Amino acid sequence: MKYSLEKRALEKQQSDCIVLPLFEDLQLSPAANYVDQSSGNNITKIVERKDFDAKAGSTMLLSSESEQHTRILLMGLGKQDAFNPATLKKSVLAATNVVKNTQTKTALFALSGITLPDYSSAWLARFSIEAISDALYVFDEFKTQKADKVTLDAVSFYCGEDIDDALVEQAIKEGSAIASGVSVTKTLGNLPGNICTPTYLAEKAKVIAKNNNAISTTVLDEKKMASLGMHSLLSVSAGSEEPAQLIVMEYKGGNASDRPHILVGKGITFDSGGISLKPGEAMDEMKYDMCGAASVFGTMTAIAELQPAINVTAIIAAAENMPDGKATKPGDIVTTLSGQTVEILNTDAEGRLVLCDALTYAEQHHNPASIVDIATLTGACIIALGHHTTGLLGNDDSLADELLNAGTKAADKAWRLPLFDEYQTQLDSNFADMQNIGGRPAGTITAACFLSRFAKEMKWAHLDIAGTAWTSGKNKGATGRPVPMLTQYLLNKAG
């Protein structure tokens, strides 16, 4: 999809479909007024008859006799005092779903006259691109009957004549990159576990490096991990025919001496629970247990496209958690890369077992300026925060605030949970330095407490995306979160 800024005056613009936003007060913007006058006052007549209520997500498609625009699409934004990024995305998504079902090749979103509280006009274009991409995303790789090809191939944005063109063009660039990253994340998440294995992810990382000069990829196999002492990570893959992989992607956009900001992704490509076998119902959704890793792939895709002046290292701990005669058993004790020992009481609490070794590897080999791990870690996070908000915990207030602010700005929100020392006692073990579960109370917090023991010397934050990484039900699929938050966080760090 080609996105661009429409700089020409209204009378010089042309498109197959012009999208005109309206709030519920039905006051026409300058662009809507111009189109109305050039199309026989059709919009005014519709407003006067109250045929269009302009509620958020509502649309009305009109044919136009104008030579400039073949179609006019009215796009409802809801109440002006309730307008926010989520409303905008909902409305643009609905509008795009209408446009893609026509023979439209070029669409123009006339965003002039709209203001988004706490954002510049440029963000209207960026958020719109993310919503458009979401509406156009299709995953039909394994269907014999493919989705109908969409004719829409170019979208432009008219934001008025008194805007900063450079800011809007940068926003379009960022929106396009984030949309690409989100699409990569969705596709990796949606792939079945028999295709998207740890080895598949390793090969994907090599392809990304091959296609981007600023990125290099290194892959550690099980033999190398064993020689280093990553026995916690390897305990998860012990029962699987698929070998674990530790994938390292390095983006070097900053000075050679700058310490990297590190993203660590949980890449459990299928989680049966191991010997602590999960219930059969909805177990197919455990292919999404690598969405932390997928979001890191997506963020690196966006960063490679935007080329910010920052060094970023991505570490993916990829494994498959399966039961067989060699699988780790409840009660087994393993030694982590850090030297600390873990009594594994539940093999279904495996994400923390791969992440802890990845965190130690990052500290020992990459000297991080900061480190953020991303994981579909606990069902408890879904109980606490539902499916709208990512859980955030960490040992550094400034890093946590940076992530919270980036999430708010990118409309990809997180909420910080406490990480008090009192919770640590729930991990006490009679036989090892710690156990890998802390019981039902505060499950998200005790999981983070476990990880915190491997990040004591680092500025570290943990994102639990169990509730936000995918959607269940009829519209089942990966969401691409938290790529917008992570990309914004890194752009902010780059300055």
**Which tokens is 356 given?**
């802890």
The helix/strand/coil state of 106 is strand
CA 428/CA 249 separation, integer angstroms: 35
- The DSSP bridge pattern shows strands 59-63 and 332-335 to be unpaired
Cis, bond preceding 330 (omega within 30 deg of 0)? no
Name the catalytic one among 206, 278, 329, 416. 278
Whether 370 and 261 have beta carbons less than 8 Å apart is answered as yes
Give the active site residue among 71, 89, 352, 459. 352
Structure tokens, 349: 């609490």
User: Phi first, then psi: what are they for 59, rounded to 5°?
Assistant: -145, 160
Cα–Cα distance, 8 to 12 (Å, whole number): 6
58-91: b (≥16 Cβ within 10 Å) or e: bbbebebebebbbbbbbbbbbeeeebbbebbbbb
- In the chain, the amino acid numbered 201 is L
Closest to 184 (Cα-Cα) out of 491, 483, 474, 486: 483
Using CA atoms, how far apart are residues 89 and 97, in angstroms rounded to an integer?
A: 12
352 is catalytic: yes
SS3 319: strand
Cβ-proximal residues to 109 (8 Å cutoff; 6+ apart), any chain: 19, 21, 92, 95, 125, 128, 155, 156, 157, 158
* Separation CA 228–CA 357 (nearest Å): 10
Catalytic: 416? Answer: no
Do residues 394 and 461 make contact, with C-beta atoms less than 8 angstroms apart? Answer: yes
Q: How far is Cα 56 from Cα 195, in angstroms, rounded to an integer? A: 39
Measure the CA angle with vertex 400, ends 397 and 214; round to 5°.
125
List the catalytic residues. Answer: 278, 352
